[in-house]
């Protein structure tokens, strides 16, 4: 029989967030952010940045700037708006230049690119549809429609 402590260790859950910051960051910002987030027990943190864009996604008010993206994994639960205001308070970044989202939020899911199999139809053989086009228009369509309607009664 397992002890309660074993169940607690197995049930450890992590909370993922994406922190997006538009514009230039101060020197040693990453270490400042990590120290600020120690309150929530950071288990992992990775960073990346986008190239300079005319109007960055999620930041319509910032023109011609790059976006720094920090993907963090916390051991302590928190919600995005509270985490964003805490980061603003500790780092001094303007609230309009920061976005914090969890990966399950709808606004974050639409940004994920999905690879779909696409077959070009220009080079493939013509697939003939069995329905005749003339049966779908004009007097024949009216007669077929009346037959279908009379069958449903």
pLDDT digits (tens, 9 = 90+) for 97-144: 999 998 888 777 666 666 677 777 777 776 666 667 777 788 888 888
Question: What is the rounded CA–CA span in Å between residue 20 and residue 58?
Answer: 9
Residue range 13-109 in CATH 3.20.20.370 = no
Backbone phi and psi for residue 111, each to the nearest 5 degrees, phi listed first: -80, -15
Boundaries of every domain in the chain: 13-109
Backbone phi and psi for residue 98, each to the nearest 5 degrees, phi listed first: -135, 140
More confident position, 30 or 2:
30
Q: Looking at residue 137, what is its pLDDT?
A: 81
Q: Looking at residue 69, what is its pLDDT?
A: 93
């Amino acid at each position: 029989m397992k002890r309660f402590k074993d169940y607690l260790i197995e049930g450890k859950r992590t909370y993922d967030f994406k922190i997006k910051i538009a514009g230039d960051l101060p020197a040693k910002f990453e270490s400042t952010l990590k120290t600020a987030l120690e309150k929530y027990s950071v288990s992992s943190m990775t960073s990346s940045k986008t190239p300079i864009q005319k109007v960055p996604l999620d930041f319509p008010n910032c023109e011609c700037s790059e976006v720094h993206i920090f993907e963090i994994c916390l051991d302590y639960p928190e919600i995005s708006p509270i985490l964003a205001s805490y980061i603003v308070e500790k780092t001094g970044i303007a609230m309009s230049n920061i976005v914090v989202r969890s990966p399950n939020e709808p606004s974050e899911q639409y940004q994920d690119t999905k690879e779909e199999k696409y077959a070009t139809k220009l080079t493939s053989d013509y697939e003939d549809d069995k329905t005749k086009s003339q049966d779908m228009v004009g007097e024949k369509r009216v007669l077929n429609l009346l037959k279908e309607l009379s069958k449903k009664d």
